Amino acid sequence: MEKKKIFITKNANQTKKLGEFLAREIVLSKAEKKALVFSLNGCLGGGKTTFLQGFAKGLGIKEKILSPTFVILKRFKLVKEKNYNNFYHIDCYRIQGSKEMLLLEVKDILKDPKNIVAIEWAERIKNILPKEAIVLQFDFIKKDKRKITLKYHV
């Protein structure tokens, strides 16, 4: 069954806090046989990267999560986490044309149950994502207000 939760945030910090909260809520309770995948979608400036900054903090990552201008894929080691070893931040905004190399790499990352994988603009590589991926949709309401819809299967 698909479940849906809607959150409204009124500034960037609230979105970070939501990411931090959901990292603890979802990730820390899971131990699956597959990678745990988050598919983040919605417009530019919607708050995907902002959300992931809080999310990474919730996972105990000290490094800063950046909006990757040229980097499409970045790995962070998880030291505090029992069930997972790596957090991958992938941004598909700039992928186009010959993306075979990246797709092969992402497929491998998705196979490893020790990985947590968050993918911005995931719709662009939807065909290789697991059907049980947790979906986050970011909608711009006005300047500092965003609607964040979480969809997951139970």
Interacting residue ranges for ligand ADP, rule: CB under 6 A: 9, 11-12, 14-15, 44-50, 67, 120, 138, 144-146
Q: Does 48 contact Mg ion by CB under 5 A? A: yes
Q: For ligand ADP, which is the closer residue by CB, 18 or 78?
A: 18
CB of 46 or CB of 81, closer to ligand ADP: 46
Residue 49 makes contact with Mg ion by CB under 5 A: yes
Using DSSP's 3-state secondary structure scheme, residue 19 falls into: helix
DSSP letter assigned to residue 68: -
Shortest approach of ligand ADP to residue 46 CB, angstroms? 4
Residues 61-80 touching Mg ion, rule: CB under 5 A, are 67
Sequence-separated (6 or more) residues with CB below 8 Å from residue 128: 103, 106, 107, 110
The option from ligand ADP, Mg ion, none interacting with 12 (CB < 5 to 8 A, set by class) reads ligand ADP
Closest residue (Cβ) to ligand ADP?
A: 47
153 half-sphere exposure, CB direction, 13 A CA radius:
8
Q: Which does 46 bind (CB under 5 to 8 A by kind): ligand ADP, Mg ion, none?
A: ligand ADP
C-alpha span between 138 and 40 (Å, rounded): 8
- CA distances to 25, 70, 75 from 61, rounded to whole Å, are 16, 21, 11
